[in-house]
Amino acid sequence: MPSPEEYRKKLRDLIYSEHKIGCTDFDCIFSKRNSRDRESDYQICETDDELRGSETPVCSNYGSPIKIVVLSLDAGSRAYSMEDQIAWLETDAYNDMEKENGWANWHGEGTKYILQKILREWDESEYERLFKDDYLSRFAHVRSAKCSIPGKLGADGAQQRQSSQAPPYFFDNCRNFVREEIAILEPDLIIAQGDYAQKTTEKFEQININLLNEYNIDNSNHRCNTIGYSAFKDKNILTIGTYHPAYYLARNKDYKEPTMEFINNAVKLAMFELKNR
């Protein structure tokens, strides 16, 4: 299995440099300046002069014990390099930021919960011995839209958080880039958070209905809470789809209880599938 450093190099060489969507070299084919070269099926990004690309952090223990990819929505208000994000995730800076900025808390809390749940279910004793203190170093975080849309400047001159989600065409434009990233990362398990993340995991195949019943999972209960296999090139990858954490933890709390129950059951089923494949 390639090392995290080798995965990072592949992403940079084959995705970011090839398509010019890296953090420091952003000249996307869908930008206004390249509109003459774009395919007619895609929409150009009108704010291209302000856009930057946010790269995928492949953390230092990616692949141990399994390769987990968290697939979320857009990159938010700031563009981050791989190195900046890894340093941020693998130190107390991530938790400190959440305490200071409530807007970041919901996504972070939901992601941390499911990562801890996965590692506990994989091996409880190893979790307590090895994973408990560095679980945030054991995944890669892929965004469904690579662009960062800067927020407006506040009265104090500081940049504010992006006020809304990226427009739909950002996700449409980036979908093939994201699928290429996932094919390179070869995950054992994808956690797809939200509608646009799940649109990337097309050709979805259901798990055996008897197993779904055994683990008390109804894939039709909520359209975003589902588990199955997604096709990426020649590999079917086990995928857990959920509502975005900010949705079920903050914006629509009626969905919190059923979504948390689904996550708990889906993770147990996913670990059974991975251990018995």
pLDDT digits (tens, 9 = 90+) for 62-83: 999 999 999 999 887 677 899 9
Asked if 17 and 27 count as a contact pair (C-beta separation under 8 A), the reply is no
- Amino acid letter at 260? M
Q: What is the pLDDT of residue 3?
A: 96
> Looking at residue 177, what is its pLDDT?
92
As to burial, measured by CB atoms within 10 angstroms (0-12 exposed, 13-18 middle, 19+ buried), residue 37 is exposed
Question: Are 175 and 230 a contacting pair, CB within 8 Å?
Answer: no
Quick: pLDDT tens for 78-111: 778 999 889 888 876 666 655 555 445 688 889 9
| Domains recognised in the chain with CATH numbers | 4-275 (3.40.470.10)
CA distances from 97 to 79, 102, 107, 162 (A): 16, 9, 12, 16
Closest by CA position to 191, among listed 124, 132, 94, 263: 263
Tokens 């060489």 belong to which residue?
13
Q: How many CA atoms are closer than 13 Å to the CA of 4, on its beta-carbon side?
A: 22
| pLDDT of the residue at 35 | 63
pLDDT class of 272 with cuts at 50, 70, 90: very high
**Over 80: is that where the pLDDT of 193 sits?**
yes
pLDDT tens readout for residues 106-155: 888 899 999 999 999 999 999 999 888 899 999 999 999 888 665 544 44
Q: Is residue 208 classed exposed, middle or buried when 0-12, 13-18 and 19+ CB atoms within 10 A define those classes?
A: exposed
- The lowest-confidence range among 49-53, 139-143, 214-218, 222-226 is 49-53
- 22, burial (CB in 10 Å: exposed 0-12, middle 13-18, buried 19+): buried
Sign of CA dihedral 134, 183, 177, 27: positive
**pTM of the entire predicted model:** 0.89
254 contacts: CB under 8 Å, gap ≥ 6: none
Binning pLDDT at 50, 70 and 90, where does residue 162 land?
A: low
Q: How many CB atoms lie within 10 A of CB 81?
A: 17
Question: 13-17, 105-109, 226-230, 253-257: lowest mean pLDDT where?
Answer: 105-109
- Cβ count near 161 (within 10 Å): 14
Q: What is the DSSP letter of 163?
A: S
Could you tell me the pLDDT band of residue 39, with boundaries at 50, 70 and 90? Answer: low
